[in-house]
Structure 1
Amino acid sequence: MVMTGVALRSWRERWLQVGLFELGGLLLITPVYRWVTGEGWGESVGLLVLLSLIATIWQAVFNTVFDRCEARWARRPAHLRPWRWRAVHALGFEVTLFLITWPVIVLWTGWTWWAAAVADLGLALAYTAYAFLYHWLFDRWRPVAAERGA
């Protein structure tokens, strides 16, 4: 996919990126979430899988919009994104996702809004660090197709 002369990831590539991100996140974060909250495996896995599905859809939308804006205004593909813009990308995604998932946590767990906000903030911080590293590694492993010579 090309926009304004800068190659972008195909939808197939985007779903690979998102799917691997969410799978890795579940494997890394679920045991920690369970340990911190004291919730059982079923409750922990159920909630985090639901949040992962929400995040998967939102991540595909957010990344596509972010990449298109970057291609248009900075005229560069995602794998050439500088570190400070990687931080903006990761934080922007997590802040918007927080606003979407906070009510879901309240409804799923029955916790107070404050307790759910603390849990969601903890998840957001963990996933922000993970997202920063993951996307940098993914972009190195799978640069945008036009840059790979494909």
Structure 2
Amino acid sequence: MRGTADRIRHVVSFEIISLSIITPLGAWVFGVTMMDMGAVGAGAALIASGWNYLFNLGFDHALARLRGSVRKTLALRVLHAVLFEAGLVAVLVPFVAWYLGIGLVEAFLMDAALAGFFLVFAFVFNWAYDALFPLPEAPRPLAAAGGR
């Protein structure tokens, strides 16, 4: 399982890369100023960072308990990305509506579009992160004494 320093590196690199993409792209697509998109992005990044750490820690613990390993298959990577984004949308919609002074439906549509981007981004980023920073191999249990 990943350690705390590795999880922090994961969260920080995810947020820096995603903010550098989504701020100008979101300002252009949604017709808001870079300042507003940057503020929404920064607020969302803070919320998402906490959620990212907690969700990934919980997901890894669940995988370890249910499967005995935290290694992810393609299906588990898809499930991971979908569950992460669904939880984040539930938290971010009220924040976006409040900050931009828009209705919940408009905020939901905006957040849904962003979630679509992040769904793909999270999938690709996590796969690349695991390739760049592979999980350490789990120690193998020692053979029982007496040669059994």
- Give TM-score scaled by structure 2 length: 0.90
Instruction: Give the Cα–Cα distance (whole angstroms) in 1 for the partners of residues 52 and 9 of structure 2.
Output: 12
- Give the letter aligned to residue 108 of structure 2: A
Residues in 2 aligned to 1:73 and 1:30: alpha-carbon distance in whole angstroms: 38
Number of the residue aligned with 2:111: 120
- Aligned match of 2:65: 72
List runs of 5+ in structure 2 lacking aligned partners: 139-148
Q: Answer with 1 or 2: which has the greater Rg.
A: 2
Shift, 1:29, TM fit: 1.3
What is the count of residue pairs matched by the alignment? 138
Q: Which has the higher contact order (CA 8 A, sep 6+)?
A: 1
Aligned pair partner of 1:60 in 45, 49, 53: 53
Query: Cα RMSD (Å) of the superposition?
Result: 1.0
Code of the aligned partner of 1:112: G
1:24-43 to structure 2, matched below 5 A, reads: 24-43=17-36
The reply to whether residue 47 of structure 1 matches residue 36 of structure 2 is no
1:13-32 to 2 correspondence within 5 Å? 13-32=6-25
Partner of 1:132: 123
Q: CA deviation at 1:145?
A: 3.3
- State the SS of the aligned residue for 1:42: helix
In structure 1, stretches of 5+ residues that fail to align are 1-7
Deviation string for 1:66-92 (max 9, x for gaps)?
001001111112xx3100100000000
